[in-house]
């Protein structure tokens, strides 16, 4: 049968995700490329992963580790994750029932939400929040309920969160160290969180992808440290952040057996399994060089400190950075443009790409003059950016 040119064309689909466009990270990286700007926007290191890890990956591929991995992850990697988790947080998850290796933290977030959130159920997110949360909730038919963090300290307001809970609340999502602010939950927050969730059936999704990037001797309050919280939690990690290889997209989820079982039903028919050669490489790296993740804060701290010192020579005011690899700066002494306009102007006219905060909010706070800079960059990149910022 020939194709008839007059056949009515299929109408363009009515979008299921009307709020979703190109992500701000892609937009800013494109602007950076078009205008030869120093890219402190998208959150990735511009230096290489450890040589040993790259070697292990190449070896795994040469050794024929190129076919499907087991659905939940290769046993030696799940063993290594269990050991690492015990060492860091005093809890050893069950290797077979509680750990699932995923294609990055993003896949794990989507799987966890789809595993438990039904159409019409509410998920509380704390704004500003990472941009994949809301669409993941909406794709599951859930309703995102945005609760603002304190606009200055980015600490949770537990009274506000409590007030947002309804009989339809299915999940609360938290993120510490926090993207974009670097704020971290403290022991008091954990006590408040326990009190809030106690006697409820609300699940917790704890996004801990920056878990090892903490500064000044602070302790990362992983949900996995607390039996009362971990019994209802999906805890999400990313090797991309820990091993300077965001493009490999490998992460994992630790959750109790019943939650992991539902999580795996989604994972199994989403990706089925994660890039096998990298799993062998991470298993080896975690086992043979625990210093890497144990000293990641010490690795990044000089970068953070120097970047903050350099910022003092500009009119940008740096906010505190307890964890993560982002520096928020207040630009109100430089411009009164809103943050999205400011970032466009900064990239096009002054050659520095930054990320505005407003896309991280359901409703951005009026008059906020903050942008996010990533300091996980070589000294040359940071110096080049500071030189440009000093002119403003
Ligand atoms: N959560 C947060 C807070 C993030 O910043 C990121 C990555 N930028 C992710 C999740 C996703 O992690 P991955 O790149 O491993 O998918």
Instruction: From residue 214, give the alpha-carbon distance in Å to each of 257, 274, 331.
Output: 29, 27, 25
**Residues 6 or more apart whose Cβ sits within 8 Å of residue 200:** 165, 169
Three-class SS of residue 65? Answer: coil
Looking at residue 25, its pLDDT comes to 87
Tell me which of 234, 268, 289 is where a domain ends: 289
Q: Is the pLDDT of residue 1 over 60?
A: no
Looking at residue 4, its pLDDT comes to 62
Strand order in the sheet with 251-254: 99-102, 251-254, 233-238, 203-207, 169-175, 122-127, 143-148
User: What CATH number does the domain containing 357 carry?
Assistant: 3.90.1150.10
Looking at residue 290, its pLDDT comes to 98
Give 238 Cα–ligand 1 centroid separation in angstroms.
7
* Rounded average pLDDT over 26-35: 92
Residue range 202-220, pLDDT digits in tens: 999 999 999 999 999 999 9
Residue range 287-324, pLDDT digits in tens: 999 999 999 999 999 999 999 999 999 999 999 999 99
Are residues 320 and 260 located together in one domain of the fold? no
Q: Report the share of the chain in percent with pLDDT over 70.
A: 98
Are residues 38 and 71 located together in one domain of the fold? no
Task: Return the ligand 1 atom nearest residue 249 CA.
Answer: 15
Which structural domain, as residue segments, surrounds residue 185? 51-289
In a domain, 189, yes or no: yes
Domain count, the chain: 2
Are residues 304 and 367 located together in one domain of the fold? yes
Q: How many CA atoms lie within 13 A of 283 on its CB side?
A: 17
Residue range 113-166, pLDDT digits in tens: 999 999 999 999 999 999 999 999 999 999 999 999 999 999 999 999 999 999
Task: Return the ligand 1 atom nearest residue 43 CA.
Answer: 8
**147 DSSP β-pair partners:** 126
Question: Which residue is closest in CA terms to ligand 1's atom 12?
Answer: 105
Give 241 Cα–ligand 1 centroid separation in angstroms.
8
Are residues 108 and 228 located together in one domain of the fold? yes
Tell me which of 289, 320, 339 is where a domain ends: 289
Question: Which residue is closest in CA terms to ligand 1's atom 8?
Answer: 43
Are residues 267 and 361 located together in one domain of the fold? no
Q: Report the share of the chain in percent with pLDDT over 90.
A: 93
In a domain, 81, yes or no: yes
In a domain, 100, yes or no: yes
User: What CATH number does the domain containing 280 carry?
Assistant: 3.40.640.10
The pocket around ligand 1, CB under 6 angstroms, is made up of: 43, 104-106, 130, 175, 179, 207, 209, 238, 240, 246, 249, 251
Residue range 229-271, pLDDT digits in tens: 999 999 999 999 999 999 999 999 999 999 999 999 999 999 9
Question: Which residue from 170, 88, 101 is spatially nearest to 137, judged by alpha carbons?
Answer: 170
Are residues 254 and 360 located together in one domain of the fold? no
Are residues 222 and 78 located together in one domain of the fold? yes
Q: Residue 344, class by beta-carbon neighbours within 10 Å (0-12 exposed, 13-18 middle, 19+ buried)?
A: middle
Looking at residue 63, its pLDDT comes to 98
**What pTM was computed for the model?**
0.97
Tell me which of 257, 289, 321 is where a domain ends: 289
Are residues 201 and 253 located together in one domain of the fold? yes
Residue 373: CB atoms within 10 A of its CB come to 27
Looking at residue 154, its pLDDT comes to 98
At residue 344 the predicted structure's pLDDT band, cuts being 50, 70 and 90, is very high
Are residues 277 and 384 located together in one domain of the fold? no
Residue range 50-91, pLDDT digits in tens: 999 999 999 999 999 999 999 999 999 999 999 999 999 999
Beta strands 203-207 and 233-238, pairing class: parallel
Choice from 175, 240, 247 to test ligand 1 binding pocket (greatest atom count within 8 A of CB): 240
């Amino acid at each position: 049968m020939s194709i008839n040119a007059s056949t009515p064309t299929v109408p363009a689909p009515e979008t299921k995700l009307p709020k979703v466009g190109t992500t701000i990270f892609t937009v800013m990286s494109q602007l950076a490329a078009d205008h030869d700007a120093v890219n402190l926007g998208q959150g990735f290191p511009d230096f290489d992963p450890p040589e040993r890890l790259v070697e292990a990956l190449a070896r795994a591929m040469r050794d024929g580790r190129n076919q499907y991995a087991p659905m939940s992850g290769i046993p030696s990697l799940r063993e290594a994750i269990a050991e690492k988790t015990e060492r860091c947080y005093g809890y050893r998850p069950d290797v077979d029932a509680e750990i699932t290796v995923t294609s990055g933290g993003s896949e794990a977030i989507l799987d966890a939400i789809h595993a438990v959130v039904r159409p019409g159920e509410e998920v509380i997110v704390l704004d500003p929040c990472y941009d994949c949360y809301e669409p993941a909730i909406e794709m599951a038919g859930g309703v995102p309920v945005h609760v603002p963090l304190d606009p200055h300290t980015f600490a949770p307001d537990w009274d506000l969160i409590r007030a947002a809970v309804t009989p339809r609340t299915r999940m609360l999502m938290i993120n510490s160290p926090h993207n974009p602010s670097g704020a971290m939950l403290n022991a008091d927050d954990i006590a408040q969180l326990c009190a809030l969730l106690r006697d409820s059936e609300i699940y917790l999704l704890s996004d801990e992808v920056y878990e090892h990037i903490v500064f000044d001797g602070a302790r990362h309050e992983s949900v996995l440290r607390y039996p009362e919280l971990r019994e209802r939690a999906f805890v999400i990690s990313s090797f991309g952040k820990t091993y300077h290889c965001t493009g490999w997209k490998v992460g994992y989820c630790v959750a109790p057996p019943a939650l992991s079982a539902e999580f795996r039903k989604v994972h199994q028919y989403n990706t089925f399994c994660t890039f096998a050669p990298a799993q062998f490489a991470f298993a080896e790296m975690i086992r043979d060089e625990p210093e890497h993740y144990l000293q990641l804060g010490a690795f990044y701290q000089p970068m953070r400190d120097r970047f903050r010192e350099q910022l003092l020579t500009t009119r940008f005011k740096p906010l505190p950075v307890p964890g993560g690899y982002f520096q928020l700066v207040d630009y109100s002494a430089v411009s009164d443009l809103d943050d999205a306009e400011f970032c466009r102007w900064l990239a096009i006219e002054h050659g520095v790409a930054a990320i505005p905060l407003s896309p991280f909010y359901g409703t951005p706070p009026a008059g906020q003059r903050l942008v996010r800079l990533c300091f996980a960059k070589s000294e040359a990149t940071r110096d080049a950016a500071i030189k440009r910022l000093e002119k403003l």
